[in-house]
Structure 1
Amino acid sequence: MTSEITLFVNPTAGRGRGAHAAQPAASALRDRGFRVRTVIGEDAPDALRRAREAVEGGTGALIAVGGDGMVSLALQAVAGTRTPLGVIAVGTGNDFARALSLPVREPGAAGRLVAEALKETRTRSIDLGRVGGTWFGTVLASGFDSRVNDRGNRMRWPAGRFKYDLAMAAELAAFKPVPYRITLDGGDVHETEATLVAVGNGSSYGGGMRICAGAEPDDGLFDITVVGPCSRTTLLKVFPRVYKGTHLDHPAVTVHRAATVELVAPGTTGYADGEPLGALPLTAECVPGAVRVLAP
């Protein structure tokens, strides 16, 4: 392995934590004898282009410094290659890091873990989801949760997570269940009305909401959580249980497991790792061992 390591940095992640987190991460790597190169793009496409150039150039590892959005970009560069991925999780949600028990908002500890894993050639192979040419590591969301994302992304005020709390309140006032056709592994078809359908390679999204609480990132299968039709009152009662994963016991919730899933629903956008994929229909495939992550 080459001793040159690439830090892939989002300086605005976590309201500026990304820029500060790069320093202790770089120090930890240099202290272990690695040469560190930092990549910061002018925008997401430019950042991804630079990350891919680093991978193609033989960098020893690509270390994403930021939140789940930065990890998502990094996955597009390293998935299907032998280049390991490191994660310095300092964003708002950090669900990818949570799923793998990596340090969250502790850049020094995360940097030391990455440096030690590189020295010991210690990686964990995990699955990724793939929709067309786009990879994802955590959850593909559709339905109520994606509508909240749609509305939140259109809002210019307020900033931060409060924006999405307001978006959720607005969507609750207007939302109705959507007719879905869900096809599992190319043959098992479920036609149902649903409040949301979440396809989990990892267990959580939105900063710890364990929507697919039983999902394991290395079993070759998605956990597909279907929340059926329910009233606004029921949704409000069930929602707090998502943080512990106990919502899966509710009679309105069904969980399927499959390696591929096709989702068809009118007027519904899919989001994966918090990033928009586009309108349904979408087909997601679980790709075993698609990336090697520097891990404990």
Structure 2
Amino acid sequence: MFIFVVNKNSGKGNTLKVWDEVQLYLQSKKIDYQVLVTGSKEDVLQLRTLIKNVHTKISGVIALGGDGTSQEVINQLVGTEYPFSVIPTGSGNDFARARGVDRNLRREVERIIGGRQEKIDLMKVNNRYCLTVIGLGFDGMVAQVTNQMRFKKWFGSLSYILSVFKVLRTYKPSSVRLTIDGEYIHYDKVWLIAIANYPYYGGGMKICPYATSQDGLVDICIVHGLSRWKLLLLFPSVFKGGHVKQKGVNMIQGREIIVNSDKQLIIHGDGEIIGSTPITITIEKNALNIIS
């Protein structure tokens, strides 16, 4: 038995069409499944009730949507042994990108049904779990503007890039105090801090190229001390991870990160706004079972 959580509003609005294809394949192979069609974060809360009412072994819980949908689903699965996977239909799809999800829909469904499993780490903020990247400052503001963009679903990952240029015109860097595993570090003129469990965010930007979800650590990218013009010149190199070698970019690893700042900074997790500073972020080893 597989459970599919289908976000009908995800991405360019083609999720239901993708689900129709998946459903036809499942039926042709006589695979048992149930489906929860959602249109909001609140709808995903019904997943726990659905799982409770299933009286056969659950082989996997699969999200059809983007990174935001995946985040909502995994927050219902933490603490269980039910394995998770995603069929990406969102605008960013950075978790799927990092996992090497097959673009061929049939092959991807076959891989999911194959059922090979492994455990991954998750980042935790208060009582919220995140899969990919938590971003603060300029990063958080860009995520907020992107999510408010009227035509986000039509632009896909380009919407994030458009928001970068919009926010860059007016955003002012701030002073930030980090405590990483008990060690205090101060940075002035901080543009952004990205705390990563996987390399990608923003629809394919390789913000922390060496981040992995199986080492019990997060990778931290701090961009600071740059002029607006130099930040703009740095931006293209993020797509291949070349920014990590540039002046004004510091890379650190840690298990617990406490962030304080001279002004409140917006925070996103997996592209969804989750709060503002001050904040504590921890990594939980082997917190989620996934279909690999």
Q: Same fold (TM over 0.5)?
A: yes
Give me the whole-angstrom Cα distance separating, in 1, the residues matched to 2:126 and 2:37. 26
Task: Choose which of 4, 7, 17 in structure 2 pairs with 1:7.
Answer: 4
Q: Indicate which of 216, 222, 232 corresponds to 1:236.
A: 232
**Residue 199 (structure 1) shift:** 0.3
What is the aligned partner in structure 2 of residue 84 from structure 1? 83
Q: Kindly provide the CA deviation profile for residues 114-142 of structure 1, in whole angstroms up to 9, marking residues without a partner as x.
A: 1122xxxx112111111111111100001
Q: State how far apart, in whole Å, the 2-side matches of 1:157 and 1:195 are.
A: 26
Q: CA deviation at 1:157?
A: 5.8
Counterpart position of 2:217: 221
Letter in 1 for 2:217: L
Alpha-carbon displacement from aligned partner over 1:22-59 (angstroms, at most 9, x marks no partner): 1232334444442111101352112x222122333453
The reply on whether 1:22 has 2:19 as its aligned counterpart is: yes
Between the aligned partners of 1:44 and 1:86, the Cα distance in structure 2 is: 18
Q: Which residue of 2 aligns with 1:112?
A: 110
Q: Secondary structure at the match of 1:81?
A: coil
Question: Does the 8 Å CA contact 2:7/2:37 hold for their aligned counterparts?
Answer: yes
What displacement does 1:166 show? 4.0
Instruction: Give 1:143's aligned residue.
Output: 137
Overall identity of the aligned pairs, in %: 29
Whether the 8 Å CA contact 2:160–2:203 is kept in 1: the answer is no
CA–CA separation in structure 1 for the residues paired with 2:53 and 2:248: 50
2:186 pairs with 176, 185, 191, which one? 191
Conservation of the 8 A alpha-carbon contact between 1:211 and 1:225: yes
Please give the root-mean-square deviation of Cα atoms over the aligned residues, in Å.
1.8
Question: How high is the TM-score relative to the length of structure 2?
Answer: 0.91
Instruction: Tell me by how many angstroms 1:152 deviates.
Output: 3.4
| SS at structure 2 position matched to 1:170 | helix
Mapping of 1:18-57 within 5 angstroms?
A: 18-46=15-43, 48-57=44-53
Contact 1:90 1:107 in 2 (8 A): no
5+ unaligned residues in a row in structure 2: which ranges?
Answer: none
Q: Distance in 2 between matches of 1:127 and 1:110?
A: 23
- The number of aligned residues is 285
* CA distance in structure 2 between the aligned counterparts of 1:249 and 1:274, rounded to whole angstroms: 25
Measure the CA separation in 1 of the matches of 2:45 and 2:149: 29
Inter-partner Cα distance in structure 2 for 1:57 and 1:288: 29
Residue 152 of structure 1 pairs with residue 146 of structure 2: yes
Aligned to 2:167: 171
* Residue number in structure 2 paired with 1:72: 71
Question: Cα distance 1:157–1:103, how it changes in 2: closer, same or farther (>3 A)?
Answer: closer
Asked if structure 2 preserves the Cα contact closer than 8 Å seen for 1:28 and 1:112, the reply is no
What 5-or-longer segments of structure 1 have no aligned partner? none
Assess if the C-alpha contact under 8 Å between 2:160 and 2:202 holds in 1: no
- Any residues of structure 2 matched to 1:240-259 within 5 Å, and which? 240-259=236-255
Q: Deviation per CA, 1:220-243: give whole Å up to 9, x if none.
A: 100011111211111111111111
In the alignment, which residue of structure 1 is the partner of 2:205?
209
1:180 counterpart residue number: 176
1:172 shift after superposition: 1.3
SS in 2 for 1:223: strand
Q: TM-score, normalised by structure 1?
A: 0.90
Question: How far 1:94 moved relative to its partner?
Answer: 0.8
- The alignment status of 1:288 with 2:285, answered yes or no, reads yes
Deviation digits for residues 93-127 of structure 1 (CA, Å, limit 9, x no counterpart): 111111111224x432221211122xxxx112111
Secondary structure at the residue paired with 2:3? strand
Partners of 2:144 and 2:224 in 1: CA distance: 21
Matched, 1:126 2:120: yes
Q: Which amino acid aligns with 1:241?
A: S
Report the Cα distance in structure 1 between the residues aligned to 2:92 and 2:148, rounded to whole angstroms.
19
Change (3 A) 1:166 1:124: same
Q: CA deviation at 1:163?
A: 4.8
Contact 1:25–1:111 (8 Å) recurs in 2: yes
Tell me the amino acid that sits aligned with residue 114 of structure 2: E
Letter in 1 for 2:208: C
